[in-house]
Amino acid sequence: MTAQLRLVSAVRPKLLKPAEVRPAVSRHRKANAEYRTREHLMASEFELLFDRAKKNRHGHRDSTMLLVTLRHGFRVSELIDLRWDQIDFATATMHVHRLKNGTPATHPIQGDELRALRRLQREQNPKSAFVFTSERGGPFTRFAVNRMIERLRTAAEVEIKAHPHMLRHTCGFVLANRGHDTRGIQGYFGHRNIQHTVKYTELAPDRFKDFWR
C-alpha cells in the first residue's frame, strides 16, 4: 500500500450532522373558513354598507354599484364589465353576461334599481360605454372595487371581513330564503353545474321551519 493510500485510509470520515430542517412556508391562501364564519352578509350588514356608500364622494355611483351587484349576483369581473347596451330601460330588463363559462340570462330590473341607473346614466361625466366608471372616465378595476368595499366595511364598522364576492353569495341566500327553487337560482346565476347552486338552498333557514311543529 502506498504512503498516499495509507494516509487516506487512516483518516476517519467525519460524520456530518444533518442540516436543520425548516418547515416549508406555504404560500397558498388559507381556506375561507380561516378568515370568516360565513360567506354572505346579513341584511343588516348590507344596509350598513349601502347607507355608508351613499355618503361617499360619489355616493350615488357607489351605492348603485352595491345594489346592482347584490340584485344580479354579479362577480366583480362581471360588474366592472357591465355596459349600457346590456340595459333596456324601456322593458326594465338587463342582459347578464356571465363569465367562467356561465350561461347568459335576462334579468328584470326593479323600480328602485331602474331609477338609480337612469340617474347614473344621466349624470355620468364623461360619458362611457361602461356603466360604472372612475373619475377619469375609465371602467373600474377589481382592485378599486375591493378597496371600496374594505373602506366601507371599516367606516360602517361591519365586523365580518366583507369582500365583493360576498354580495354574490348574499344574492343566492336571499333568493333561497324567499323560496325560489334550486333550478331557478341556477339559471339566475348562470351555473352550468347545479352543485354550485345547492350551497344556497342548503343554508336557507326556512328549510327546517316545520321540523318542530
Active site residues: 75, 100, 165, 168, 191, 200
CB half-sphere exposure, 126, CA atoms < 13 A: 5
The closest alpha carbon to 200, from 179, 76, 159, belongs to: 179
The closest alpha carbon to 170, from 48, 74, 65, belongs to: 74
**Among all chains, which residue has been given the C-alpha cell 375591493?**
146
Those residues whose C-beta lies under 8 Å from the C-beta of residue 73, and which sit 6 or more positions away, are: 167, 168, 171, 172, 188, 189
Cβ atoms of residues 199 and 182 within 8 Å: no
